[in-house]
Structure 1
Amino acid sequence: MKNHTTFVINPAAGRGRVGRMLRQLEAAIVRHAQSSDAEIVVTQAPGHATQIAQRAAPGSRVVAVGGDGTVHEVLRGIAGSDKAIGVVPIGSGNDFARMVGLHKLPLEAALRTALYGAVRSVDLGVVNHRPFGASLGIGFDAAVARKALSAPTFLRGMPRYLYSIFAVLRELELPNLELIQGNQVLYQGPSLLVALMNGSTYGGGIPIVPDALPTDGLISAAVAGSFSRLGVVGILPQLLMGKHVHHPRLHFFHGTEFVVRFDRPVPAHSDGELLEPSHEYRVQMIPGGLRVVQSGA
């Protein structure tokens, strides 16, 4: 008996690319499934993918067709169940797919993998009782993502990102951070950002913690300490190339649980999805807590 598979297609993903491919995707899914074991559901609004995933049959596969935002919604719908998440990565950021080795698959191969690939376990992150797959970013990068929402509509892609960076830099005032593990304060002082990672990359491939692994049971944390505006501009090229790890104001830690506490509410994003700013983020890793469809029989 074949596994039942629900394909959750987000037409807004990839800046609308998935919507433009909708007929192609539906035809390809039907062709590869070759039976009635595959269901196709197109999302209608933010949050719909979570509802679809929650309603999917126990033990089934729920495939996110889109980017990290679609993955995050599906993940929230299946976390804590025996369902498995699959990914057909057609988004503007595919860091979850990159984490589980699916980001380079061409479309046809990605669909076959979603239907027939092996199901394996990876670790599952949780922040303030909310699950995440690949990444949690707190501070500067989340502020940039939030600022991008109010950027001029004619700006897209890299120009929009650069506009948002420099808009946040103009207002830059670092919060004071306490990073706590158990009863030990690992870092205390001004902080530009904190990244708590299951995968090694976020933001569409930025290797913020290059040695992070999704199967070691650990959160890999990076703390950027006190940076000036000029210092931020200087570190960005190093960060994009993964050459930042020896910078004296960057600190790296590993553990199963952290408390991230600030002197004021600080914005965050979970798998690229914005969270409400908070004074405190409680983060833990659940070893093997997520079932994922990956390549291989």
Structure 2
Amino acid sequence: MDAWVIVNPAAGRGWVGRLSGAILKAARERGARAFLTEGPGHAADLARQAPGGSRVVAVGGDGTVHEVLAGVAGTDKVLGVVPIGSGNDFARMLRLKKRPWPKALEHALFAPSRAVDLGYVNGKPFGAFLGLGFDAMVARKAFSAPPLLRGMPRYLYALALVLKDLTLPLARVEVDGKGVYEGPILLLSLMNAPTYGGGIPIAPMADPADGVLHGILAGRFSRLGVLGILPRLLLGRHLGHKEVRVYAGRRFAVRFDRAVEAHADGELLPPAASFQVELRPLGLLVVGEEEMPREGRPALAV
């Protein structure tokens, strides 16, 4: 087995950096090549350099996985994950059990692989989710929040800033070539995974190997309406709201009346007014748990 282990020292708010020496040593003792990333984009570059058919292990959170995924998408390389981050929704999607990092590394290096569906937005791959609108706006504000704020206080700080000046864009949404919605949109989340935002169950029906993305659309919401639905969202009880719609398909086309914020797997994307989203069934080889919902087939070339 040819294996590359890519360690992001900034992940987990610096926790991975404190463990990095031990992780690199453990990976090399198991016959893998091990690398420490040096900045944004480096993990993707390293993953692209890994030889065909190799196993490429991302050590970090969703942002690290997103970068490594960009380097292995469309190939026969296998993506493994050691989830030591603040989000870890990709690891939840793979149903990876909570393990101490040495056991998680062992699993990522040696457990069997299988295939899951792979998303693309405007030609760029994503694994667990794509968020357009409000949640991406909150994510951008959270990135620039004072460093002393962590966890829920950081989120509430960002939420307050976004709500203060909230105006909803108008949008047209097509699913598999058919128009399904026109009007104001608070957010549209296109989900391959059941959760985002560190475990929020926004799409409990989502299955990463069912061949479709699930689109959760929140339409016309006031500021008070946003505050009112948040507790329901955190409990997974939002789908019965009259302004929440659910769609499933392989291709989504979304056109806004202005550029809106977007994020994929927790990583901010450039704002845009148009998004072309496509799902490629079983297009990514991964290391998950044995009880994942479907047996994988060879990844599809793209």
Is the 2:57–2:108 Cα contact (8 Å) retained in structure 1? yes
Counterpart CA distance in 2 for 1:118 and 1:284 is 27
Opposite residue 37 of structure 2, the aligned amino acid is T
Counterpart CA distance in 2 for 1:153 and 1:14 is 14
Opposite residue 29 of structure 1, the aligned amino acid is A
Query: 1:184-220: CA deviations, max 9, x gaps?
Result: 2111111100000111111111111110000011011
Tell me what 1:204 maps to: 198
Opposite residue 22 of structure 2, the aligned amino acid is Q
Query: What's the offset of the Cα at 1:293?
Result: 1.5
Query: What's the offset of the Cα at 1:296?
Result: 4.7
Counterpart CA distance in 2 for 1:154 and 1:101 is 32
Opposite residue 278 of structure 2, the aligned amino acid is Q
Tell me what 1:278 maps to: 272
Aligned partner of 1:22 among 20, 23, 26: 20
Q: Does 1:122 align with 2:116?
A: yes
Tell me what 1:5 maps to: 3
Counterpart CA distance in 2 for 1:222 and 1:103 is 26
Query: Structure 1 residues 162, 86: CA separation in 2 closer, same or farther (over 3 Å shift)?
Result: same
Is the 2:175–2:248 Cα contact (8 Å) retained in structure 1? no
Query: 1:212-252: CA deviations, max 9, x gaps?
Result: 00001101100001011011011111111111111111000
Alpha carbon RMSD of aligned pairs, Å? 1.3
Q: Where in structure 1 are there 5+ consecutive unaligned residues?
A: none
Counterpart CA distance in 2 for 1:236 and 1:164 is 14
Is the 2:175–2:247 Cα contact (8 Å) retained in structure 1? no
Is the 2:129–2:189 Cα contact (8 Å) retained in structure 1? yes
SS of equivalent residue, structure 2 residue 38: coil
Query: What's the offset of the Cα at 1:148?
Result: 1.7
Is the 1:179–1:258 Cα contact (8 Å) retained in structure 2? yes
Aligned partner of 1:262 among 256, 259, 262: 256
Identity among equivalent positions (%) equals 55
Is the 1:89–1:103 Cα contact (8 Å) retained in structure 2? no
Tell me what 1:136 maps to: 130
Q: Does 1:160 align with 2:158?
A: no
1:175-194 counterparts in 2 under 5 A?
175-194=169-188
Opposite residue 5 of structure 1, the aligned amino acid is A
Query: What's the offset of the Cα at 1:27?
Result: 3.4
Query: What's the offset of the Cα at 1:177?
Result: 1.5
Is the 2:141–2:162 Cα contact (8 Å) retained in structure 1? yes
Counterpart CA distance in 2 for 1:59 and 1:84 is 7
Q: Does 1:174 align with 2:174?
A: no
Q: Alignment length, in residue pairs?
A: 291
What TM-score, normalized to structure 1? 0.95
Q: Does 1:44 align with 2:60?
A: no
Counterpart CA distance in 2 for 1:131 and 1:204 is 20
Query: Structure 1 residues 182, 292: CA separation in 2 closer, same or farther (over 3 Å shift)?
Result: closer
Aligned partner of 1:58 among 37, 52, 63: 52
Query: Structure 1 residues 135, 270: CA separation in 2 closer, same or farther (over 3 Å shift)?
Result: same
